[in-house]
Structure 1
Amino acid sequence: MAFMRKSKFRHVFGKPLKKDDGYDNIRVTKNSWDSPFCSVNPKYIAIITEVAGGGAFLVLPIKQTGRVEMNQPVVDGHKGPVLDISFCPHNDDVIASCSEDCTVKVWQIPEGGLTRNLTEPVVELVSHIKRACIVHWHPSAQNILLSAGADAKICIWNVGTGELYVEVNLPDLIYSVNFSYNGNRFVCTCKDKILRVIDSRTGKVIKETKEPCHQGSKPAQALYLKNDKVFTTGFSRMSERQYALWDANTLEQMSMDEIDQANGVLMPVYDGDVEMIYLIGKGDSIIRYYEITDEAPYVHYLSLYQSKDPTRGFGVMCKRGLNINNCEIMRIYKLLNTGQVEVIPFTVPRKSELFQDDIYPDTASDQPAVSGEDWFRGVDANPVLLSLKDMFASEMKEPAKVVVKSNILDKKVPATPSRSVGATPQATPQAKSAVRPASEAAAPAAAGAGTELPPGVSISDLLDEVKQLKKTVKEQDKKLRQCEERLSTLESADGENNAE
């Protein structure tokens, strides 16, 4: 019998939201450059659009779902088609873009979104002499932006001052760039098929592979993972799609596997909080996901999401924008050729209604850990972390606290009214009237059996009070049963988690 590896992410599944909860009527760019063409954060979704004579991209408030109007305002300031866009991780209102016009521009989105076309950037960064293809923000340093161009040059900028900090010249066209966890290094793939790890401050190549990381001629993509690993996707000599895992310090290959023979470039997405990787094939309809561990073969296949529509581009929501109450660990915004954006949440099924701290470790916040100037002077800092538990608690309808104390009904049912109602001249001197039910006690009063009532109190008032007491007892009894059932459910769920 085959051994099934244990994993809490084995049953992760993706289920698209309804069409009305996505976006429609968008003229997605037809450019052939291998870019996601989309960027997402908790406030906005930005999508590169097709325009005549110049370059533009759409920025919509994330909650403005449904059909997009034809005259929707856009960011329209490039003289050539826009090739890549990226929201700043430390300011949800700031987005960078690069274009075939060789420029990199940074924009400030007005609060609430665009009400008219935005044509003036906050800063324009000019250094590339051929088209600028990639923009990528530093994960922890404020205002540090990396750009890469078809001139085989990588530039690292301080956006706050418009200053060019580092310029790295490489031998061939750059396909992908990705910072390490604290941003002191980055990894890149080029047309020459060599994988390189480069120092972010000096531009010096720390390590490079002696042989091609992937033999195929189509673009390879790379991610710098935690724990000093590098993940790449590419093609074999026989044009089979494959992925590989490398030691970042030596660039020795740790594992490699072939996936299929489709021809779309595999764009990898990394969730460093839970060490998962999603592979999104451009031009095909499958999203595969894997878990990275310290056990060979290190990259473990989990499952896949498949739909009928091919992927034109995509955006990925950061953890700050996810629905923590539904155990959502990833949300992908998939661009379709039809002009629609399909929203796909990926969820870990859980029975418990409590916060799931094992799938939600502290995640990167929107606070920079270090200023751009200090970073360039040599200060390294990991991203500032944020607990997602506060987001969970604020959305809960009821706090999930079950505390069994003394019977709460003891304090809710006073016996005095039943004694006063049940006292009749014919009653025996025993204490029988004090213990009989309120319904029996009310009968003589209803019949007018000579009971003396307090001033200003009628029989109907007493009957109403008795009814109210009975209702209260019934409600409290129901609540007690619900609490007991919830406690039982929590105990059984906790037992199942411990068993896993």
Structure 2
Amino acid sequence: MFRKVVRQSKFRHVFGQPPVKNDQCYEDIRVSCVTWDSTFCAVNPKFLAVIVEASGRCLPGAPLSKVGPVTAGRDWRHIASGSEDCTVMVRRDSGGGPSLALPGGGAGGHTKRVGIVTWHPTARNVLLSAGLHCGPWPAVTTWCSSERGTAEELYRLDSLHPDLIYNVSWNRNGSLFCTACKDKSVRPIPPPPQEREKAHEGARPMRAIFLADGKVFTTGFSRMSERQLALWDPVVAVEPMALQELDSSNGALLPFYDPDTNVVSSVARWGWVGRGRVVEKTEAGPGTSPHIHFLNTFTSKEPQRGMGSMPKRGLEVSKCEIARFYKLHERKCEPIVMTVPRKSDLFQDDLYPDTAGPEAALEAEEWVSGRDASPILISPRRPTCPANSGPEGQPRNVLSDSRPPCPWYLPPGPPCLRPPPTSPCPVAASLEWETRVGQTGAETGPSLTSP
């Protein structure tokens, strides 16, 4: 009896492709040498920002079309950054507006260096920051900005983490976030009632990210210093739903997740060679558990200092790009394209489902009041790229179809019980807040993020 031995997947032949010429890279960049496993890079469909080795300075947002040597003097957009001077900055220098400094030090902010900043996925102008100090009770703080250009501290968590926080990740609609701590635990917040098990037994840094279905994907090390990938249920975390061991390299794995296709790309930082792995998470069938399937590996000769990932709406759909990474070398930034080989130049509906757009689904006041909403989805197809199939999966006449892609709202999720925010901490600033479309800029510190 014939039995299939090859698993079917539309991403099985994905491959990475570096730039052919050096003039396609961003050169003359001295990447920061801060000893922290961070991406050191933020990118959106319009701009690229990199943390550089300088005193109190960072590379401003450079247009993606400006390859070659990068110089200062560009227009900035919104970007959030954390620094070793305990401050969190939100800059928007284009148009003459000054930067907005969130409170730092004492009861109004962080008392140690800030290395984690991340935007809320659906609420406008809501920012989460976390301190990196190893003292008692590292702080996780949620900030909100108003239309008047002031910042308020919404929530502050001081007693949940006994040690260093490695990373923070929001879930799909922003109702939960999870943290990876040096005590080898992954904590969903709000936390479940039962005790948490250690995610990885190794002492090296680990990472945790929320998946689209509510599961938690982690990267870490075993007791024998073998790198691992694991999939967890955040409610019942007695043992992993799936566990895969990779190799014995010492570089921490930085995961990049595509919620539309369930593809995770793990990148090792500070390895002897640049290496990235692409894995696919599949849904569980009746009586089975979810699986993590290996897709492909991209290896380069030079190690990477950091890595940035382009949002889905900035990819070239006509070339079947499913991901684009910006690899940081010692003196340059190199774009690496992950492509699925297809013969047709038409829009591939199976590769590009609707993805999260740049518009916010909620205002900050609505999120504080307890409301949650799914991201506003848009089609990645551009008007210049003809479609391959219709809404029902039937072949479409590309000569008669000229409708551009349109965004639409998804029904919001049920409201959650959220505690009232703490007393506001206003900060004087005159900053005009706009819709976060194509925002990025730069600032010093061990962490950098752009919405």
Partner of 2:256: 269
CA distance in 1, matches of 2:316, 2:172: 24
Aligned counterparts of 1:332 and 1:258: Cα–Cα separation in 2:
24
Maintained 8 Å contact 1:197/1:208: no
For the structure 1 residues 45 and 190, does the alpha-carbon distance in structure 2 shift closer, same or farther, using more than 3 Å as the test?
same
Q: For 1:100-499, list aligned pairs within 5 A.
A: 100-110=84-94, 120-126=98-104, 127-151=109-133, 152-160=138-146, 161-169=150-158, 170-199=161-190, 205-206=191-192, 210-252=196-238, 253-284=240-271, 285-295=274-284, 296=289, 298-337=291-330, 339-393=331-385, 401=398
- Conserved 8 A contact 1:150-1:174: yes
- d(CA) in 1 for partners of 2:311 and 2:64? 13
Distance 1:240 1:108, change over 3 A: same
Q: Distance in 2 between matches of 1:371 and 1:221?
A: 29
Contact in 1 for aligned 2:82/2:116 (Cα 8 Å) = yes
CA contact (8 A) 2:187 2:196 kept: no
Tell whether the 8 Å contact from 2:346 to 2:387 is kept in structure 1 after alignment. no
Question: Which residue matches 1:415?
Answer: none
CA shift at 1:207, angstroms?
A: 5.6
2:202 is paired with a residue whose SS is coil
**Hey, what does 2:27 align to over in structure 1?**
24
CA distance in 1, matches of 2:370, 2:399: 51
Alpha carbons 1:105, 1:125 under 8 Å: kept? no
Quote how far apart the aligned CAs of 1:387 are. 1.1
Tell me the distance in 1 between the aligned counterparts of 2:304 and 2:153: 35
**Deviations 1:233-253, CA, capped at 9 Å, x for gaps:** 111111111111001222241
- Which structure shows the higher helix fraction? 1
**Counterpart amino acid of 1:231?**
F
Identify unmatched segments of 5+ residues in structure 1. 76-91, 112-117, 200-204, 404-500
Residues 198-240 of structure 1 deviation map (CA, whole Å, 9 limit, x = unaligned): 03xxxxx236753321111111100000111100011111111
CA drift of 1:121 comes to: 1.4
Q: C-alpha distance in 2, partners of 1:186/1:207?
A: 16
Gaps of 5+ in 2: 389-395, 401-451
Q: Percent identity?
A: 43
Q: Distance in 1 between matches of 2:220 and 2:366?
A: 36
Larger radius of gyration: 1
Counterpart CA distance in 2 for 1:334 and 1:400 is 40
Question: How many pairs were matched up?
Answer: 370
Deviations 1:110-149, CA, capped at 9 Å, x for gaps: 27xxxxxx99413434200011110011000001100000
- Amino acid in structure 1 at the alignment position of 2:262: E
Determine which of 6, 9, 14 is the counterpart of 1:7.
9
Two-structure CA RMSD over aligned residues (Å): 2.3
CA distance in 1, matches of 2:110, 2:74: 25
Paired with 2:25 and 2:194, the residues of 1 have a C-alpha distance of 42
CA distance in 2, matches of 1:351, 1:288: 24
Q: 1:61 Cα shift?
A: 1.1
- Deviation of 1:355 (Å): 1.3
Alignment partners' CA distance in 1, 2:34 and 2:365? 36
Quote the Cα distance in structure 2 between the aligned partners of 1:268 and 1:103.
Answer: 26
Report 1:39-118 matches (<5 A): 39-52=42-55, 54-69=56-71, 72-73=72-73, 93-110=77-94
- Taking structure 1 as the reference length, the TM-score comes to 0.70
Q: 206-215 vs 286-295, which deviates more? A: 206-215
Give the drift of 1:13: 0.9
- Shift of the alpha carbon at 1:58? 3.3
- Opposite residue 153 of structure 2, the aligned amino acid is L
Deviations 1:347-393 (A, max 9, x none): 11111222111111111111000001101101100111111223453
Q: Normalized against structure 2, the TM-score is what?
A: 0.78
Maintained 8 Å contact 2:281/2:290: no
Equivalent residue letter for 1:362: D
